[in-house]
């Protein structure tokens, strides 16, 4: 703009190059982050979505070694077999549901454990307990089985102590081979392995709570217990609901490695869950078509459970994850 022979440049015109540079740098940074994420997105696609093309084998009577087009097309026969197999399937579904229900019932424990950890004011003691309880998560189930065998087998350390101290006349039955102890023993092992690790997300949620709420409660005379019950616990409920919905979505996915390692002739009837049954059918029995059909049905049921639980949570609490 020209005024009385003097050229005046507006502030807006001067600010434009810097704002354009800022936008370009931000866009460049976003592209860099996208390129960094691409390998992981590719891995997710390869290991999660590409295997879905194998679902087509569930509709054929597939014989190993033969091309798929030379196998007989059976349609939904294997899915009907899944619904009518009353011998093994009912037993396996029963075991899976028992482990799943117990798993749902113990889901509040990491939240309560996180609250207890948060109440420890000594930083060294807090770090010690958090480290000790988180460390088992990084142990493989092979190592955990070896530890359990060393302690709880018929010739393990525990039985030797009981016999040598005269508490029992002879070594009792190994808990690893006790069919009646499978459900609670495997649940306790799972809790011991994952309790500290699962509490981390709740500890992170606690740090996000408004500290002014605690200050106001203490001014009104509330102690640490009442603050935990009326501030911390309600503040963690949204996080708990989200994790609960995810657990319900994985209701039938009870895992494989743990039960595969602890399975033996004595506990086979009660420890065999759906994933272990699919492994026995598909890789050992080479009944690939039926095992894939079971996997498809399990995925469909899991998705249905997730959407149902999500709809209930949305109706009751007004918030959901989908």
Q: Are 209 and 231 in contact (CB under 8 A)?
A: yes
Mean pLDDT throughout 123-152?
90
Residue 185 lies in a domain: yes
Enclosing domain of residue 91? 76-139+178-317
Nearby residues of 251 by Cβ (< 8 Å), 6 or more positions away: 100, 104, 301, 302, 305
pTM above 0.85, yes or no: no
Residue 35 lies in a domain: no
Q: Are 188 and 102 in contact (CB under 8 A)?
A: no
Confidence bin at 225 (pLDDT 50/70/90): confident
Mean pLDDT throughout 59-71?
85
Mean pLDDT throughout 185-201?
91
Residue 222 lies in a domain: yes
- The DSSP call for residue 70 is G
pLDDT value of position 171: 60
Residue 165 lies in a domain: no
Residue 198 lies in a domain: yes
Task: Look at 191 and 155; give whichever has higher pLDDT.
Answer: 191
State the total domains in the chain: 1
Residue 238 lies in a domain: yes
What is the rounded distance in angstroms from the CA atom of residue 103 to the CA atom of residue 136?
Answer: 18
Quick check: 320 pLDDT over 90? Answer: no
What is the rounded distance in angstroms from the CA atom of residue 8 to the CA atom of residue 161?
Answer: 94
What is the rounded distance in angstroms from the CA atom of residue 59 to the CA atom of residue 61?
Answer: 7
Residue 68 lies in a domain: no
pLDDT digits (tens, 9 = 90+) for 269-313: 899 898 899 888 888 888 888 888 988 888 888 888 888 888 887
CATH number, position 85: 1.10.3720.10
What is the rounded distance in angstroms from the CA atom of residue 296 to the CA atom of residue 317?
Answer: 31
Confidence bin at 12 (pLDDT 50/70/90): very low
Residue 289 lies in a domain: yes
């Amino acid at each position: 703009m020209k005024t009385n022979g003097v050229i005046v440049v507006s502030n807006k015109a001067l600010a434009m190059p810097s704002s354009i540079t800022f936008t370009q740098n931000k866009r460049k940074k976003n592209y860099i982050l996208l390129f960094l994420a691409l390998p992981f997105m590719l891995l997710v696609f390869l290991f999660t979505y590409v295997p879905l093309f194998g679902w087509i084998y569930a509709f054929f009577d597939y014989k190993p070694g033969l091309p798929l087009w030379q196998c007989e097309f059976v349609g939904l026969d294997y899915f009907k077999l899944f619904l009518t197999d009353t011998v093994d399937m009912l037993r396996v579904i029963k075991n899976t549901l028992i482990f799943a229900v117990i798993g749902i019932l113990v889901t509040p424990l990491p939240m309560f454990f996180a609250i207890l950890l948060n109440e420890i004011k000594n930083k060294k003691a807090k770090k010690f307990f958090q480290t000790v309880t988180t460390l088992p998560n990084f142990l493989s189930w092979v190592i955990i089985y070896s530890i359990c065998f060393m302690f709880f087998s018929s010739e393990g350390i525990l039985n030797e102590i009981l016999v040598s101290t005269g508490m029992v006349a002879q070594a009792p039955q190994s808990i690893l081979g006790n069919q009646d102890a499978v459900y609670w023993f495997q649940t306790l092992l799972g809790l011991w392995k994952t309790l500290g690790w699962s509490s981390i997300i709740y500890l992170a949620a606690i740090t996000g709570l408004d500290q002014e709420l605690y200050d106001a409660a203490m001014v009104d005379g509330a102690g640490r217990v009442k603050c935990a019950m009326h501030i911390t616990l309600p503040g963690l409920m949204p996080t708990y609901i989200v994790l609960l919905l995810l657990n319900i979505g994985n209701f039938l996915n009870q895992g494989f490695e743990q039960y595969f390692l602890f399975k033996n002739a004595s506990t086979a009837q009660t420890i065999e869950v759906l994933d272990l049954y699919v492994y026995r059918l598909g890789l050992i029995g080479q009944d690939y078509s039926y095992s894939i059909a079971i996997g498809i049905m399990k995925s469909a049921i899991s998705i249905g459970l997730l959407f149902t639980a999500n709809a209930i949570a949305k109706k009751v609490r007004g918030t959901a994850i989908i």
